[in-house]
Amino acid sequence: DAEIVLSPPSKTYGHLNAETVTDVHHWTDRLFSFKTTRDPSLRFANGQFAMMGLEVGGKPLLRAYSIASANYEDHIEFLSIKVEDGPLTSRLAHVRPGDIVLVGRKPTGTLLLDNLRPGRTLYMLATGTGLAPFMSLIRDPDVYERFEHVILTHTVRQVDELAYGDYIRHELPEHEFLGEFLRGKLRYYPTVTREEFETKGRITDLIESGKLFTDLGLPALDPEHDRVMICGSTAMLTDTENLLVKRGFDEGNANRPGAYVVEKAFAER
């Protein structure tokens, strides 16, 4: 397994940049992240996704991946699950520094600050790899200029799947440039559903019961003042959207900003 070596692409592709992997981190045996070089021509807004993958059988094999790094950084970063028989992720999980991945030149997506009306509190609700776009957004100073409170929730099955947890808690507040923006504004609220943890349960249940707001010392969701970004599995998106719509939240998009925006988290099944 450890001996699988990824070969470089056989040719160049007009719509794809060939980027070199510079750093790989395995959070669990099913969850990993990696950094690559960034073609200076790549432009994206924080929260967007790009097509990304490998050349397999002489053709690009790509999936939609949220970019986890911020758009002012000189690298790009991705967070991925590894699916045993997943055509892409079973291979991608073997990337090592020096390997080449293909990255689409036209990132897109709806998890954008501009798709939300101004508000007081911004909730970012993530499950699993749905954390990725928020790793980009929480490193965007604009987020802290626009909102008084920024709440990032991450729900996973097991504690060790709380990727970037230590970074968010300990490193980010000390960040020489971002620290002053986010200190006292960014609150991280991790929850775990299948193991003991300080905060247990699905975010939907924690919203319904009101425990999320009691824990944070914030008022219950209010479409007038609160804005919500959601990224998770299809089931999580449906349940969370229902809960928001019931409370009077309207969905935003590029033509008409709203009270919430949604994006499906990366999945390969």
Site for ligand A2P contains 204 (CB under 6 A): yes
Q: CA angle, 117 as apex, 188 and 63 as ends, to 5°?
A: 65
Determine which residue in the list 230, 236, 259, 261 makes contact with ligand A2P, applying CB under 6 A.
236
Site for ligand A2P contains 235 (CB under 6 A): yes
Q: What's the closest the beta carbon of residue 194 comes to ligand A2P, in angstroms? A: 5
Stretch that binds ligand A2P, among 82-90, 99-107, 149-157, 223-231 (CB under 6 A): 149-157
Instruction: Give me the 239-268 binding string for ligand A2P, x by CB under 6 A, dash otherwise.
Output: x-----------------------------
> CB-wise, 205 or 222, nearer to ligand A2P?
205
Site for ligand A2P contains 128 (CB under 6 A): yes
Order of strands across the sheet with 31-37? Answer: 59-66, 49-56, 100-104, 16-28, 31-37, 75-81
Report helix, strand and coil shares of the chain as percent, to nearest 5. Answer: 25, 30, 45
Stretch that binds ligand A2P, among 45-53, 58-66, 102-110, 232-240 (CB under 6 A): 232-240
C-alpha–C-alpha distance, residues 34 and 76, integer Å: 8
Q: What's the closest the beta carbon of residue 154 comes to ligand A2P, in angstroms? A: 9
**Tokens 């990132």 belong to residue:** 107
Q: What's the closest the beta carbon of residue 125 comes to ligand A2P, in angstroms? A: 9
Site for ligand A2P contains 202 (CB under 6 A): yes
Asked if 59 and 239 count as a contact pair (C-beta separation under 8 A), the reply is no
> What's the start-to-end Cα distance of the chain, in Å?
20
Cα–Cα distance list, 164 to 27, 46, 51, 170 (Å): 9, 17, 22, 10
The backbone region for 58, taken as left when phi is positive above 0, alpha when psi lies in -120 to 50, beta otherwise, is left
Asked if 223 and 258 count as a contact pair (C-beta separation under 8 A), the reply is no
Q: What's the closest the beta carbon of residue 174 comes to ligand A2P, in angstroms? A: 29
> CB-wise, 102 or 236, nearer to ligand A2P?
236
Stretch that binds ligand A2P, among 56-64, 105-113, 150-158, 171-179 (CB under 6 A): 150-158
Nearest CA to 101 out of 109, 93, 112 is that of 93
**Which residues in the 152-181 window bind ligand A2P by CB under 6 A?**
155-157
Query: Which residues would be at the binding site for ligand A2P (CB under 6 A)?
Result: 127-128, 155-157, 193-194, 202-204, 233, 235-236, 239
